[in-house]
Structure 1
Amino acid sequence: MNLRTTTALAAMAGTILTGIANPAHAEPRTMFQHYVSLGDSYAAVADHTSLRGEPGCFRSTKNYASDLAAMLGVRRHDDASCGDAKTENMTQPQPITGGVNPPQFDAITPDTDLVTVSIGGNDVGAVTALATCGMYGLLDRAGNPCQQMNGLESINGPLADVADRVGRVVEGIRARAPKATIVYVGYLAPLPEAGPCATTPIADGDIPYIKAVHKRMVDTFTAAASAHGALIVDASAVTGHDLCQPAGVRWVEPLLPSTITSPFHPNAAGQAAVADLIAAAL
């Protein structure tokens, strides 16, 4: 029995038992009342054909927050996540194509009791660095040109500083919603442990290097969030669903996506899987 089924059955059982105990108030009880989801494109993006809110954020109705809200039966869900968001956009407005996304913390109220957040990747330029490695890979498909050129130093360099910012994000959430359960969600792993990978121009020899840097990034951010009291869901720990896998198996899309979404970002299946991980942790 999968998690979605057991969650639904639990909700049904709760409704029945509540009705027996108090027939005049037979509404199902939910674990959380007000859920706010924050973060960057790994929280926002899933399917560009099902967007809501500011179009420049590419916020999908099939992202992990939407799936999780439905699974938990929350009474109110405010999704403030936005593609390209950085830690600064928790408290500052974010210019986007066609307008501005308000500071994401604006969605939090004192009665918010659940907050999820995926943030930090854009502060170190993770997707841009990955694309740069792809350019190097076009020159030497079998070697490790990105590693030789130290192409991911842009990620390694500021990790400690960005980790501090992630910790301050968690503290900022708690200051605005003292009773909230705060969940920091680590990024899905885009690549396998080793090559070859037919779906991307990244050189085969660079895949272990990129994988190691991605793991270091996620480990650094999750450690910072945990140190400030956040519950951690590390989606990067899941293997076998990277962008090198065939369509229908992969949870992260390659340079040429098979669905209408952003390259190197989660698809709807990946977002649903992350929602399952969060629900299990809760």
Structure 2
Amino acid sequence: MKLSRAAAFSTSLLLGAVLALTGAGAAQAAPSAAAVDYVALGDSYSSGVGAGSYDSASGDCKRSTRAYPRLWATANSPSSFAFTACSGARTGDVTASQLGPLGSATDLVSITIGGNDAGFADVMTTCVLESEANCLARINQARDFVATTLPGRLDSVYSAIRAKAPSARVVVLGYPRFYKLSGTCVGGLSENERRAINDASDYLNTATAKRAADHGYTFADVAPAFAGHEICSGSAWLHSVNWLNIGESYHPTASGQSGGYLPAFRSAA
């Protein structure tokens, strides 16, 4: 049936309204992922320690092809991708050696940082090798650091990122809880130690989220994604003590990167 000119015009208007309501017409106007310049900063949780498949060119930084920044970049094909996260990094290492790729054109930045400043490795070593009393005392020491010293160090990093990339969306990712309480583990740390470690992780995440929000950054909490996949869960996305490769202990597996960190980042990016 042939429409009159007036009817055709009315149909065109109606179609346009439907597209606007459904969002179908907006797809063309939305910026594509290919237009994004993305820089991934941070420590071993961003470099992908524990996930294997390390890029030999990254040396001791141990950047994995299975780390969430690389997985996101592979899936979204940004116009540029710089991966400077490094195993063992503290806040000062980020400002000293990781910010080079940032610039006025940078659209997206991701970062995990703060755990090493708070003495993460020493806390876990103390808890694994020494008494419960020493473990709890070392955790309390770390909590004091997070309360008094870490906020200023995070401020320095976050301010440095904004100074170099004034237009970037910055996503600060947290750390998972390590243990499922009353889980499947037999022996090892006591339940009191496991609970204290989980509480310390929550404490660190809360402090980090506050500093991120004060800088206008988005905090991505990974703890919900790891729920049910903690150590002692029977389906862990975290390594326990790995005596063959001690540096991978208490780091996400490849599944932890793809199933825990990647979705948290993807929803916030």
Would you call these one fold, judging by a TM-score over 0.5?
yes
* 1:253-279 deviation per Cα after TM superposition (whole angstroms, max 9, x unaligned): 111389997010011111112111111
Quote the offset at 1:72 in angstroms: 2.7
- Correspondence 1:262 to 2:269: no
- Correspondence 1:48 to 2:52: yes
Query: Does the CA contact (< 8 Å) of 2:51 and 2:257 recur in 1?
Result: no
Please tell me the root mean square deviation across aligned C-alpha atoms, in Å. 2.7
Q: Equivalences for 1:153-168 in 2 at 5 Å?
A: 153-159=140-146, 160-168=148-156
Judging changes above 3 Å, is the alpha-carbon distance between structure 1 residues 156 and 197 closer, same or farther for their aligned structure 2 residues? farther
Query: Does the CA contact (< 8 Å) of 1:146 and 1:206 recur in 2?
Result: no
Residue of 69, 73, 79 corresponding to 2:83:
79
Could you tell which deviates more after superposition, 80-89 or 165-174?
165-174
Can you give the 5+ residue segments of structure 1 that lack an aligned partner in the other structure? 1-13, 22-27, 93-102
Quote the offset at 1:201 in angstroms: 2.2
Name the amino acid aligned to 2:254. A
Report SS of the residue matched to 1:91. helix
Residue of 210, 215, 222 corresponding to 2:209:
222
Count of aligned pairs between the two proteins: 240
Name the amino acid aligned to 1:36. V
Judging changes above 3 Å, is the alpha-carbon distance between structure 1 residues 134 and 32 closer, same or farther for their aligned structure 2 residues? farther
Can you give the 5+ residue segments of structure 2 that lack an aligned partner in the other structure? 1-23
Name the amino acid aligned to 2:109. V
Report SS of the residue matched to 1:152. helix
Query: Does the CA contact (< 8 Å) of 1:129 and 1:154 recur in 2?
Result: no
Report SS of the residue matched to 1:77. strand
Deviating beyond 3 angstroms after TM superposition, the runs of 4 or more aligned structure 1 residues are 144-147, 257-261
Name the amino acid aligned to 2:44. S
Greater Rg, structure 1 or structure 2?
Answer: 2
Residue of 206, 217, 237 corresponding to 1:251:
237
Residues of 1 paired with 2:200 and 2:134: CA distance? Answer: 12
Identity %: 25
Q: Higher helix fraction: Structure 1 or Structure 2? A: 2
Residues of 2 paired with 1:269 and 1:257: CA distance? Answer: 20
Residues of 2 paired with 1:161 and 1:253: CA distance? Answer: 29
Q: Which residue of 2 aligns with 1:172?
A: 160
